[in-house]
């Protein structure tokens, strides 16, 4: 069972995403802010991080760059989400994310993006063996 860490400061969005992902067969850990991300990664060992850009006083883009710059977390795929940005904003801006999804989004689109990211990760693992 793949593990997904969801980080979003909106409780309703967080709970909805968690429910949908659990129904989709994923093991989910949810955080309301980015301050505990590193501790949660260490204990939960996610296969993917779903990270909101706007996390109150922490910028998800900066957090994404930090995660991608550290050896122990650099290989974890990150799907950035935001209601403040449009996908076209991320054609030129790269914070290390593996993909981007603007809010509001349809849950089937979210699940397709997650499946695509995780299958690409599996393909790379397969190719390296």
Q: What is the pLDDT of residue 120?
A: 67
pLDDT tens digit sequence for 80-116: 998 766 555 555 567 788 888 888 888 889 999 999 9
| Sheet strands (E) in 32-83 | 48-52, 54-55, 58-59, 78-82
Q: Write b or e for each residue in 40-78: b if 16 or more Cβ atoms lie within 10 A of its Cβ, otherwise e.
A: bbeebebbbbbbbbbbeebebbebbeebbeeeebeebbb
pLDDT at 125 over 50: no
Mean pLDDT of the chain: 85
Confidence of residue 127 (pLDDT cuts 50, 70, 90): very low
**Rounded Cα–Cα distance for residues 25 and 32 (Å):** 22
Find the farthest-apart pair of alpha carbons in the chain and give their distance in angstroms, rounded.
41
pTM: 0.86
């Amino acid at each position: 069972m793949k593990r997904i860490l969801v980080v979003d400061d909106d409780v309703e969005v967080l709970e909805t995403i968690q429910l949908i992902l659990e129904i989709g067969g994923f093991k989910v850990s949810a955080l309301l802010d980015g301050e505990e991300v590193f501790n949660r990664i260490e204990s939960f060992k996610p296969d993917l991080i779903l990270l909101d850009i706007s996390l109150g006083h922490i910028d998800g883009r900066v957090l994404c760059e930090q995660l991608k710059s550290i050896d122990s977390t650099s290989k974890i795929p990150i799907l950035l989400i935001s209601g403040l940005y449009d996908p076209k904003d991320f054609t030129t801006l790269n914070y290390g994310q593996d993909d981007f999804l603007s809010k509001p989004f349809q849950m089937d689109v979210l699940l397709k993006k997650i499946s695509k990211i995780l299958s690409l990760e599996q393909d790379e693992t397969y190719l390296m063996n």
